[in-house]
Structure 1
Amino acid sequence: MKRSMTPVSGPKDNSAADGRRARSENSRAKIVAAMLHLVGKGDIAPSAARVAETAGVGLRSVFRHFADMDTLYSEMSQVIEAQVLPMALKPLTGASWRDRLLEITQRRALVFEAILPFRISANIKRFQSEFLMQDYRRMLRLERSSLEAVLPPHVLADTTLVDALNVPLSFQTWRLLRHDQELTIAEARAVVVRLIEAILAHIDD
């Protein structure tokens, strides 16, 4: 009887595969960290060359990992959310719904400022990325649902009023004030508070 000549993978083969996988994961982690660093510093659309230089990896490695942009941006999103979600999900302490709404106003200023360059960068790329488009829509739903959670039934019944409250509390409004109008954080926050207070003045308890 002839013995099978099929090669059997040994410990060395498995070790080599594990080593390649570890190096690939390490390179990807460096690329994600480099992207976060560059975007956080204001380079909202960093070139592959800039990313490679900052990450300390080869340009070919960047192109290889960039071929799967959705996975790359997903990993970036996970890092950012881990940083801001504890702040965003912290229980509100206001005694009334009006107090809690104003508390949300202050909190969103902090959260939106923390994610400002990353959301701008993602918005530029979202039309080329299914993940980023889905993530964009998810964030819109989250903004809306967290607002609705503090509103009383008689306010929720007026969908136009809820829409009016949602606009100044949106990330897009914060981006407009900070990025387009170049207001300081304090100035942008004051504008949002003024808008919310103006709407609240026309709502009966």
Structure 2
Amino acid sequence: MDPQQPSSTTIRRPHEPYDNQEQHVRADRDASPAREDRMSTPIDGRTLRRSRNRDAVINALLELVREGKLNPGAAQIAERAGVSHRSVFRYFDDLNDLVRTAIRQDFLEAEPLIEIASMGEGTLDERAANLAQARVALYERVNGTALLARMRSNSLPDIADERVTVAMFYREQIRQQFADELDKSPQAARESIIDACLVLTSFDSFDIHRRTLGHDNDSIVASWATSLVALLSN
């Protein structure tokens, strides 16, 4: 999957330690300010522990994925996180919920890498190299998660939708980065050229270069920059 800029879809938050009804009962019973002070510490500690364990489960999945284990089971995730097997399903509805959350968190953390320095500035060669370098840096950062997202997008439609969203964002970046050249192209060909640039610098292309052709990142940047210039010079 091309690294996705997380959509505005709301991620389910963990439940509070006590449901609303129980909180009201406790509030009525423990109205004394002194009692409230004494009770606040264990409640806060329980909430903090739950939050830390939930983060540990997310990070465990991400670690396993980065190691190439794209379909770990709940037991494997729990062992890596240092929590019980049942805890995984206390924090998440199911493994799909965990996968969604982990993918979005990782892409959100990598979001600054989506930006292209000096957008639209410089010679064609410089702009092509800048875009190629930015994409390769991003794909290197989210490589494992992008593979997971691509693999799971058929069964998780919201992840598939987010891939489309980010692809459209990338198209607009290409349009801005190479506006001078695109403006000189026949209007009928303009969108096709943008699509070709998008596919050329996609995560799928990166993955072929890395795993099929055995290219390192510098070679990928050079190949993409050369190809972009060739596409946009005609």
TM-score, shorter chain, exceeding 0.5: yes
The two structures have a TM-score, normalised by structure 1, of 0.79
Cα distance 1:46–1:75, how it changes in 2: closer, same or farther (>3 A)? closer
1:87 aligned partner: 113
CA contact 2:58–2:98 (8 Å) conserved in 1: no
Does the 8 Å contact 2:62/2:102 carry over to 1?
A: no
- Measured in 2, the distance between the counterparts of 1:191 and 1:98 equals 12
**How far apart, CA to CA, are the structure 1 residues paired with 2:204 and 2:57?**
28
Q: Following TM superposition, by how much is the alpha carbon of 1:128 offset from its aligned partner in structure 2, in angstroms?
A: 2.4
2:217 counterpart (185, 200, 204): 185
Q: Is the 8 A contact 1:35 1:51 kept in 2?
A: yes
Show the counterpart of 1:124: 151
1:42 maps to which residue?
68
Q: Aligned-pair distance for 1:72?
A: 5.4
CA shift digits 1:117-174 (9 cap, x unpaired): 1111111122222432232122212221111111222348321222222211112211
Q: Which residue of 1 aligns with 2:3?
A: none
2:117–2:130 contact (8 Å) kept in structure 1: no
Say if 1:70 and 1:130, in contact at 8 Å, map to a contact too.
no
Question: Which one-letter code corresponds to 1:104 in the other structure?
Answer: L
CA-atom RMSD in angstroms: 2.7
Query: Does the 8 Å contact 1:101/1:147 carry over to 2?
Result: no
Q: Deviations over 1:180-201 (max 9, x none)?
A: 4443333333332342233234
User: Counterpart in 1 of 2:172?
Assistant: 145
Of the structure 1 ranges 40-49 and 125-134, higher mean CA displacement relative to structure 2 is found in 125-134
1:108 is matched by which residue type in structure 2? R
Tell me the equivalent position of 1:154. Answer: 184
Give, in whole Å, the separation in 1 of the partners of 2:158 and 2:43. 29
The aligned runs of 1:8-47 (5 Å cut-off) are: 8-10=28-30, 11=36, 17-47=43-73
* 1:57 counterpart residue number: 83
Once structures 1 and 2 are overlaid, which stretch shifts more, 26-35 or 69-78? 69-78
Structure 1 position 52, deviation (Å): 0.6
Higher relative contact order (CA 8 A, sep 6+): 2
Structure 2 unmatched runs, 5+: 1-24, 31-35
Gap regions ≥5 residues in structure 1: 1-5
Aligned residues: 196
Letter in 2 for 1:131: D
Going from structure 1 to structure 2, the CA distance change for 1:59 and 1:155 (only over 3 Å counts) comes to farther
**What SS does structure 2 have at the residue aligned with 1:74?**
helix
1:103, 1:72 → 2: CA distance? 32
